[in-house]
Amino acid sequence: MLKELRPLKLVLVSGKKDHGPGEHDYPAWQIQWGQLLAAASNVEGTAAFDFPSEKQLAIADALIFFQKGAWNDDRAKKLDAFQARGGGSVYIHWAVNGDDRVADFSQRIGLASKRGSIRYRHGPLTLDMHNTDHPIMRNIDQLKLYDESYWKLTGDVKNVTLFGTSTEEGEATPQVWAYEKGAGRVFVSIPGHYSWTFDDPIFRVLLLRGIAWAAREPVDRFNELAPLGARLSR
């Protein structure tokens, strides 16, 4: 007999679209991935704009942020309480932005960015994988995308479980990682600038596994979702 899946509550957090067509389309992603995750068994997904509500923070198993990130004392207090009770968080692309509070933010997600102090590049992006014995990374050796990389992030890479790096200016730079703070789990993906990236089948598997892991679920919980709408060829 198959083990019944526990009810899982996810919150998808978007923000105002801030780039051109097919770029940083947080509202479209929130709709599309809300529908995708709702297709999974025993999953309840709700939407939030900018930051989760008090009620969402109280009941969510995991928060998924795809927006222009921001950080302040109020968010720090609320997210610290959420992580302390074992809540998981996922940050995609510019959600890692901490502005002038970048050092403080990096203590919650491992590594963070500040506009004006990081480097970035759009174009072909090869991710070389690390810690491939981790459940999230099973059978993923390399990922090729057309997206945007960030580097010169704030934080200590020794504090994260590094999953993917890209070579920028001759150095391996962190692009995908996991981070644990107290009882909370965090999964971060810098790729996600372009909407098409979310339809790449390998990226989709990686992100779905990261969401499940952050929520303290088996990483294969969302396997049935991976091919839905993904770019697959015969």
pTM over 0.85: yes
**CA separation for the pair 117, 103 (Å, rounded):** 12
**Residue 56 belongs to some domain of the structure:** yes
In the chain, how many domains are there? 1
Please name which of 68, 92, 76 lies closest in space to residue 15, comparing C-alpha atoms: 68
**Residue 70 belongs to some domain of the structure:** yes
**Residue 106 belongs to some domain of the structure:** yes
Pairing between β-strand 43-49 and β-strand 8-14 as defined by DSSP bridges: parallel
Q: What is the percent of the chain where pLDDT is above 70?
A: 97
- Domain with residue 187: its CATH number is 3.40.50.880
**CA separation for the pair 5, 63 (Å, rounded):** 19
DSSP state of 97: B
Instruction: Give the model confidence (pLDDT) of 168-223 as tens digits.
Output: 999 999 999 999 989 999 999 999 999 999 999 999 999 999 999 999 999 999 99
Distances in Å between the alpha carbon of 123 and those of 150, 166, 188?
12, 12, 20
Give residue 139's domain range. 8-225
**Residue 67 belongs to some domain of the structure:** yes
Please name which of 25, 3, 6 lies closest in space to residue 14, comparing C-alpha atoms: 25
**CA separation for the pair 180, 204 (Å, rounded):** 22
CA dihedral 193, 230, 137, 191 (to 10 degrees): 0
**Residue 234 belongs to some domain of the structure:** no
pLDDT at 94 over 70: yes
Instruction: Give the model confidence (pLDDT) of 115-125 as tens digits.
Output: 889 999 999 99
Q: What would the mean pLDDT of 15-20 be, rounded to a whole number?
A: 89
**Residue 231 belongs to some domain of the structure:** no
**Residue 2 belongs to some domain of the structure:** no
Coil/strand/helix, residue 233: coil
Strand partners, 161: 178
pLDDT band at 229 (very low <50, low <70, confident <90, very high): confident
**Residue 58 belongs to some domain of the structure:** yes
